[in-house]
Amino acid sequence: MHSVMVAVVVLAAGSVAAAQEPAPAGNAYLVAAKRLYADLEYEKALEQLEHARTVPGNTVAEQAEIEKYTGLVRFELGSADARSSFRTALALDPKAELPPGASPKIRAEWTSLKQEMEQANQARDAAAAKAEPPPPVAKVEPPPVAKVEPPPVAKVDVPPAPQVATAEPARVDLHPATSSAATSAVTQAAPAPQEQSIVASVGPWVLLGTGVVAGGIGGFMGISANSEISSAKSDPVQLSAQSHQQAAGSDALAANVLYAAAGAAIIGGAIWYFTR
């Protein structure tokens, strides 16, 4: 008689707890399953929970409640899937709690699983924070190199050389008796003035200026190559470091070519200047 009274009291307490627990509106199967769970009708409650799971438009809270009560029913039936249902419920709602009428054994299992999932989530968040990639390195574009146009060579019209008057030969009287003093009608032509070509005077300076400009650009490209090499050594990302190395090789090649062109232009201008 005493055991019957205890069972009646436990059943009544479970019914009151289920009635006091707020149930999400909109899913009649879930409400029925909670009532059957409180009445210890676990098989029927599980059947109602399967129907509740298929109702379209379930909210996240309703899905969490369905999984929580599925775990409670399976735990009472001795199913090994109860822990899986609890895990799904906590994944949907980490703050979910068991109903007041849950047994201490079920509550201990729920609390243990909840702490385990919280620790796993914290470890995952910490690992994700450590695995965040470094901010992208801004690619520095070298300033555009101004194209230097050589100064235009002025077109010089060279005046024609003055015509030289042709001197007529002197007439010599072959008869001395009658000849008078020999006269000469030779006209000496003045030598033509030497006109210096403007091209010859401007050309050496054009070559020298071009050589200086090429040397300056070559120096800039050499500095850029050294900068790219430094960036490649300090860049922790292998792909970016390779990009810096390729850019340094291109800049170094351009600098060497410009140095050679500058040297050739300066030497040519100097030779032209001293041999004009």
pLDDT in tens, 45-94: 999 999 999 999 999 999 999 999 999 999 999 988 999 999 999 999 99
Q: Which two tokens stand for residue 140?
A: 């520095």
Of 87, 104, 119, the residue that ends a domain is 119
Of 84, 119, 154, the residue that ends a domain is 119
**Considering the domain boundaries, does residue 107 fall inside one?**
yes
**Considering the domain boundaries, does residue 185 fall inside one?**
no
pLDDT at 164: 52
pLDDT top residue among 60 and 229: 60
Question: Does one domain contain both 210 and 106?
Answer: no
**Considering the domain boundaries, does residue 133 fall inside one?**
no
Q: Considering its fold, how many domains does the chain have in total?
A: 2
What CA–CA distance (Å, rounded) separates 223 from 258?
13
**Considering the domain boundaries, does residue 31 fall inside one?**
yes
**Considering the domain boundaries, does residue 204 fall inside one?**
yes
Please give the residue range of the domain that contains residue 44. 2-119
Of 72, 90, 119, the residue that ends a domain is 119
pLDDT in tens, 252-265: 899 898 889 989 98
Question: Does one domain contain both 115 and 202?
Answer: no
* Secondary structure string (H, E, C) spanning the chain: CHHHHHHHHHHHHHHHHHHHCCCCCCCHHHHHHHHHHHCCCHHHHHHHHHHHHCCCCCCHHHHHHHHHHHHHHHHHHCCCCHHHHHHHHHHHCCCCCCCCCCCHHHHHHHHHHHHHHHHHHHHHHHHHHHCCCCCCCCCCCCCCCCCCCCCCCCCCCCCCCCCCCCCCCCCCCCCCCCCCCCCCCCCCCCCCCCCCCHHHHHHHHHHHHHHHHHHHHHHHHHHHHHHHHHHHHHCCCHHHHHHHHHHHHHHHHHHHHHHHHHHHHHHHHHHHHHHC
pLDDT at 131: 77
Question: Does one domain contain both 114 and 203?
Answer: no
**Considering the domain boundaries, does residue 137 fall inside one?**
no
Q: Which CATH number is 99's domain given?
A: 1.25.40
**Considering the domain boundaries, does residue 128 fall inside one?**
no
Q: Does the predicted TM-score (pTM) go above 0.85? A: no
**Considering the domain boundaries, does residue 134 fall inside one?**
no
